[in-house]
Amino acid sequence: MRIAVLAVQGAFEEHEKVLWKLGAKTVQLRKAEDLKEKFDGLILPGGESTVQGKLLRELSMLPALREKITNGLPTLATCAGLILLAKHIADENTVHIGTLPVTVKRNAYGRQLGSFHYANGYFQGVGAFPMEFIRAPYVESISDGVETLAAVEGRIVGVQYKSQIAVAFHPELGGDSRIHEYFLRQI
């Protein structure tokens, strides 16, 4: 199995390491031409969504990414990746890829709680899962057809819509690869 990892900015290497551990091959997407490679799934890593969005526009990568995801490419998006996927960003007019019918709120936990470890996380289909949040967004609202996979204190932090899985936290950082396994099982 070959998984593409968006590698224009952010925590893409950590995802690659988890995928290698699980026996998957990876290909880095750094420019539009890389999108012509063959791959079975896509990971959109955490980082800074405004920077990633700007680079994806400058590199002319948005239309092809949008098309592949709309056509059913299994996609796992984490943190900034969730913001890239969202159809709406609260209090902003920006839309990046825009294939996931949810509204996300960026930097949503205030300054003090911007980054935290949530030990009692639960992820549908995976079970108990400790979660690392880093200046994380949360999902403010979801449209029909979007399933909630995880919530923390009443706030949605994991969703699935068709072949897109998106989480507000960083499953690549805790040394627990079960969310990546869950993603690979969908392929």
53 is a contact residue toward ligand GLN (CB under 6 A): no
The yes-or-no answer on residue 140 being catalytic is no
62-70 and 49-58 helices, crossing angle to 10°: 100
- In this chain, which of 34, 40, 48, 176 binds ligand GLN, going by CB under 6 A? 48
167 is a contact residue toward ligand GLN (CB under 6 A): no
**Cβ-contact 128, 174 below 8 angstroms:** no
Size of the site for ligand GLN (CB under 6 A): 12
From residue 80 to residue 119, what is the string marking binding to ligand GLN with x (rule CB under 6 A)? x--x----------------------xx------------
Distances (CA, A) of 167 to 25, 58, 76, 113, 160: 22, 26, 8, 17, 9
Q: Give the whole-angstrom CA distance, residue 126 versus residue 181.
A: 9
Per CB under 6 A, residues contacting ligand GLN are: 46-49, 79-80, 83, 106-107, 134-136
